[in-house]
Amino acid sequence: MAVRMVRGVLALTLAGVVGWLPVASGAREPLTAVSVAAAPRLDFTPQQMALALAVSDDADLASFYGSNGLRPIFLGPEGEARRLALRDAIGNAPRHGIPVARYQPDRLTATEGLAAEIAHAHALSRLLRDLTGGVLNPTRVDPEIKRQPVRTAVVPLLARFEAAADPAAVLAGAGPDHPAYLALQQALSGPADLVVPQSLPRIATGVWRPGQRATAIADLRTRLVAIGFAADAPDATLYDDALARAVSDYQRAAGLPDDGVAGPRTIAALNGDGGTGQDARQRAILVAMERMRWMASEDLDSRHVWVNIPEFSTTIVEDGAEVFRTRSVMGKDTPEMRTPEFSEMMANVVVNPSWNVPRSIAVRDYLPRLQANRHALSHLDVVDGAGRVLARDGIDFGRYSAASFPFRLRQKPSDDNALGVVKFIFPNPWNIYLHDTPSKHLFANRVRAESNGCIRIGDPVDLARALLSRQTDDPAAMFQRARDRERETWLKLTPPVPVHLVYFTAWPGPDGRIRLFDDIYGRDARIWEALQAQGFGAAAPAMVADLNPGL
């Protein structure tokens, strides 16, 4: 209450000086609409500027203007290039998937003097924050998103903008420039490469596969040709091998099982049914672009491990190119088991790992079995706080509850160890890591949300060798020597490798086409809801079309 009263007094004082009143709700009453270019260089004092900044409640702006002697940078002829650069950048905000209205463009032409300076400065500050760290705070959207964007310091960017001979270039370079972000931008504002013109004949429902002939197959081919996935053929009604490859390519791009058979889901997607239309696709792209802005400070061209949860894949990227890929199993869709999102440094490859059973599993799943039979689960050691293995005959498991159970359960290295022959450590508070598994059957599934939260790797030995390849001429031999020791052995990665656990339901494939994946945990839906609360419209195409807001 006291803070609001102080701000109110400052607002009234400022209103008497420059005719601009920030009200309690944050709305601002403009001055008369005159050209900013015609405004004098200085029609206010530094003291009035300081008061306006105090009321504006933007610490970055206060710091910037304090460092430049409270001089305006947007007013008069000297500020014309900056005004135009800012207005052009705001006009192009939809190319970043951000609505123009977020920056209150009418205030930039409907105010004069000090009010115009502050309006431009606010719009610039917000634009820079959005482009360099995202619109949202991800941890507030979903607590399972552990990512904290490292935002670029706004004050140095403001100083660069003021000093630049070409201020437009400073703003043009503010957003992410990673090829994936640029591909998402192109897909957002360019033609929808998965959306078939609805004027074409619909494909009849069925299951169409190689060797068949039907009119529906000709319609299938026509729709695929329209979006560049297939070529015309002498017999359009024949489901030949080339058409099967085209269907498989489309399925991969659309996030469908890529079996080359046109079943009900593939036909529904090509027909534009069931939420597979333009709006749903562009919402996924908008969310992906916001996620990329959260990662703007990460060096995604240098060597790193990339785990895309909805894609159920783990890759290694070097010099901006994918050099290794393997299928992966992610956490189940339950509050306790969903795999979180974060980035860390992988420091070690652990060969012949022991498995320390997570306490949640030990007390939920294993304690009741030990209470029924103390000799159950004989593959697990019972370990005390000092790390000593205890004899079970001396333990009355019935005395303990889930809350009071004082022991740990541990599985020794073995061929049937729950972690398999290798795990990959990147220390984090959630005890998440990558690991092998003796249960290989799940890797054949399309949807692989089956783990307790950690990431199971389809080709773990190959992943280990690939990670070790930078520090030895023979990574296979290095790994095998550790394996032959038949005890837990830690191989240090030099240097450590960044690991990014990410959640992209829209992502460019090797051919540049945007591929779509299921929102398995509902996180994208929550992000989209939060973006809507920030002024993002439900109809993405209309926003993208608004590239000339008339500034």
* Residues with active-site annotation: 435, 454
CB atoms within 10 A of CB 420: 23
Token pair for 13: 């004082």
Amino acid at 253: A
CA separation for the pair 181, 96 (Å, rounded)? 9
* Secondary structure of 325-369 in HEC code, one letter for each residue: EEEEEEECCCCCCCCCEEEEEEEEEEECCCEECCHHHHHHHHHHH
Instruction: Please tell me whether the peptide bond between 495 and the residue prior to it is cis, using omega within 30 degrees of 0.
Output: yes
CA separation for the pair 508, 182 (Å, rounded)? 10
Coil/strand/helix, residue 489: strand
- The CB-side HSE value for 313 (13 A sphere, CA atoms) comes to 17
Give me the phi and psi of 520, to 5 degrees please: -65, -30
- Which residues lie below 8 Å from residue 497, measured CB to CB, with a gap of 6+? 303, 304, 305, 345, 346, 467
Token pair for 87: 């207005």
CA separation for the pair 356, 431 (Å, rounded)? 11
CA separation for the pair 43, 112 (Å, rounded)? 10
CA separation for the pair 115, 20 (Å, rounded)? 6
118, 56 Cβ separation under 8 angstroms: yes
- Which residues lie below 8 Å from residue 465, measured CB to CB, with a gap of 6+? 475, 476, 479
CA separation for the pair 98, 130 (Å, rounded)? 9
* Secondary structure of 262-304 in HEC code, one letter for each residue: ECHHHHHHHHCCCCCCHHHHHHHHHHHHHHHHHCCCCCCCCCE
Q: What does DSSP assign to residue 482?
A: H
Distance from the first to the final alpha carbon of the chain: 38
CA separation for the pair 64, 158 (Å, rounded)? 7
Tell whether the torsion through CA atoms of 357, 354, 387 and 377 is positive or negative. positive
> 510-540 in b/e burial notation, b at 16+ Cβ within 10 A?
eeebbbbbebbbebbebbbebbeeeebeeeb
